[in-house]
Structure 1
Amino acid sequence: MKYLTLILSVFFCNLAQSSCEQNVDQIKTHYINGMFTDSVGFILNKSAIKQFIQAYLIQKGFSSEVTGNHNASEFFVSQIFEVGKHKWEDDEAADAIIDFLNGEHRFLTNRPQIEKLGLQSFLQDISNEYQQTLNEGTSIFGLYALKELLDTCSRVILITHSQGNFYGNAIITEMYNSYKFPNKYELFNYPMLGHMQLASPVDIPGGPIASVYPNVTGHITNSEDVVMSLVRSTFNSVSANFQSQVHNIDKSGHGLVDSYLNGQDGQPLEIAKQLTAISVNLIPYPMHPQHNASSSAIYQFGYSNLNELLDIKFHNDSVYRYNNVASSIYNGLLTAASQGTYFNSAIRNQHAFTKLE
């Protein structure tokens, strides 16, 4: 019985491992709310995000199931004090990011040199700047939730609003600093986690990740968002980047649902556009375990329709990524009577490639 249990556990472990890469084109979202949002408001907001995805993004590969964790509302004075503390930490982190960029900006377009610079060590330093925020329950639950989502090998986009953006910057930084997929690849090397900020009071939306991987973060703040205007005049923060008008339904211009998700000045289309762009700019880890090949040369292969990337592992254990591979070419490989012959005629010397391993 003991040996049967061991065999079954290994079998199901391998099954989970091999099926994980199949989820590479699934897009999941997680939400963290802003200040003065009670538990009922949080549930309503999460439901509104689900409806937004169903209306604008369901055909883009987004899952309509939205997860989230509640940033609990507090007494007015405590809430303001907490925001001030978050803003101070975010300012300190932003200063460190700017110092780094000013000193080594030319390296940010060259991945091998980034590795030599030890940017992961830099991320650790930035994560330390966010330590108080990361020790709060909202961040702890957020980190756990994102880990659970990424453990499915899906793409994940964190959606944050207002004060939730402080938590977002801290959480995204820590995830890129420490997370590894179940297949042991590091998130830092394969950015499958994005961040969409709405009504942002931070200095740099996305923090250091926005500097390293600028296409996996997004940001929209209404020009007539009264709350964010007050934050900018008091603390300084990122500028508004969306021209809006004052509407009776929400004169503050700040509400997640009325002024952003259902905004009357084109905000929904802009948010959907940015979320779509983030999703296709997330770069998958090696996907070769998706399929075992029937070839003397090819061992395994896998494909992302969103990125048009084909990963092939050969019997010598080398792994190559082929770019701009149409789905018809992938399907041809999948169904070819001789996959090695098909590779030689339709893929080899036909597509740019990168050696992954």
Structure 2
Amino acid sequence: MKTFRCSQCDQPVYFENTACAACGVALGYLPSEAAMAAFEAAPEGPWKALGKRVTGKWKPCANYAGPQVCNWMVPADDPAALCSCCRQTEVIPTLEKPDNRLYWARLEAAKRRLYYALDTLGLDRPGLAEDPERGLRFQFLEAVEGGDPVLTGHDSGCITVNIAEADDAEREARRTAMGEPYRSLLGHFRHEIGHYYWDALVAQGGWLEPYRALFGDERADYAKALETHYRDGPRPDWPAHFISAYAASHPWEDWAETWAHYLHVVDALDTADHWGLHLDGSAEGPAAADPGESFSKPFRERLTFAWLPLSRFLNSMSRSLGHGDVYPFVLPDPVLDKLTFVDEVVRSAHCVAWRDWPSDPRE
């Protein structure tokens, strides 16, 4: 995530902000420009842009102006009322329950962060208008007493998320019950959209054979594999080959888990680089360096040169503040190979390659 500044007063602002804490103006995110901008809010019609850096005319997403669960802007001449992120949500929970509005806001906030990363990587995210059969859409569902269980998952472009995952206490209880070291709302989005991009980039992109060489044959019975996983647990040697125990259940889940971690890594490194933070992975220990230096390196080398030192630092800092590890994972060589493969697939999709970014990522 890049750093942002208010276009009126130039003070630092953040991706989720709706107002500048320094000058008090309304803020909105411009997805086409990957920028936060200051506006003079208007009850009707386009909002007046403030500052020289804002171009074009904009209106707030209907979920910004109404229920206030979004802070993205829409071009003023776009007939759509919702932004490019909110318009792909098909189903929201009933808002008669006060907590559901909070859960919906958290779900949309996580989805916006996901979309920021996809846009940064140059990955298409077509909706049903562009792809009527497999376009991306989201359903945020609530389990009701006596009804069918709501399972978070993906099916032909439709990503379903149980809104209970937006309840911090409930999510932590599920993490503990399932023996997982890590469980987050954003992680769910990253994992499920990994299944979507497996269909779009691997199955349809000519990568099946190299994928099978690394991850295994996805034609293995999926239902039976999951049944075995939940009944018997993961294979004993999973830490030497997989990013997580769940990744060992089936090649599809191995891909989705690895994809999610790829997005974890690239987003965290992007954030560190834009903050000017670089940790030297040499034996001499942490050292300040040019934050753009690692952008010139191949992705596998970037993992070892930049990500491993950064993740160790983040874990140490979290422990210093009295918390557990924020990245409680180990990356053995087979996982590094899989992460590198994901990067190759992403770059093949005519997107921005890490090594092709400018030497100064803040440009």
Indicate whether the TM-score tops 0.5.
Answer: no
Q: TM-score if structure 1 supplies the norm length? A: 0.24
Q: TM-score if structure 2 supplies the norm length? A: 0.24
Q: Max radius of gyration: which structure?
A: 1
